[in-house]
Amino acid sequence: MGLSGPNDKEGEMSLNLRVNGDASFILSFTIVPGRVVQSKAAEVFLISRLQGAPGHFRQVRLATRTLHDVAPDAMLLAALQGMAMSYGISELVAVNSTNQIYYSDEFASQFKDAYDDFFAGLGFNQNAAGLYFSSIPIVEKPLERIKPGHKIRTREKRAFKKEIMLSCAEFFGKRTVSPGSLKKNAGAKLPGYPPAGVPSSLVIK
The pLDDT score that the predictor gives to residue 82 is 92
Q: With bands split at pLDDT 50, 70 and 90, how would you rate the model's confidence at 7?
A: low
Phi, psi of 103 (to 5 degrees): -65, 140
Dist. CA 204–CA 194, nearest whole Å: 8
Rounded CA gap, 57 and 139, in Å? 29
pLDDT score of 153 more than 90: no
- Checking if the pLDDT of 23 tops 50, the result is yes
* Position 194 pLDDT exceeds 60: no
For the chain, what are the domain ranges? Answer: 2-202
Q: What is the pLDDT of residue 163?
A: 92
Separation between Cα atoms, residue 24 and residue 26, nearest integer Å: 7
Tell which residue, 78, 102, 89, has the closest CA to residue 27: 78
Q: How confident is the model at residue 9 (pLDDT cuts 50, 70, 90)?
A: low
Q: Which residues of 1-25 are buried (b: 16+ CB within 10 A; e: fewer)?
A: eeebeeeeeeebbbbbbebeeebbb
Say what the pLDDT of residue 196 is: 44
Determine the average pLDDT of the residues in 48-60: 88
| pTM (whole model) above 0.85 | no
- The predicted pLDDT at position 204 comes to 43
**Preceding omega of 6 cis (within 30 degrees of 0):** no
Q: What distance separates the 2 farthest-apart alpha carbons in the chain? A: 50
Domain 2-202 belongs in CATH node 1.10.3470:
no
**Range name among 41-45, 65-69, 187-191 with the lowest pLDDT average:** 187-191
Tell me the average pLDDT across 160-175.
85
If you ran DSSP here, which 8-state letter would residue 75 be given? H
Mean pLDDT, range 24-29, rounded to an integer: 91
The stretch 3-12 carries a mean pLDDT of 70
Which secondary-structure segment (H or E) carries 101? none
pLDDT band for position 99 (cuts 50, 70, 90): confident
With 60 as the cut, is the pLDDT of residue 175 above it?
A: no
List % helix, strand, coil for the chain (3-state, nearest 5): 40, 20, 40
CA distance 19 to 10: 27
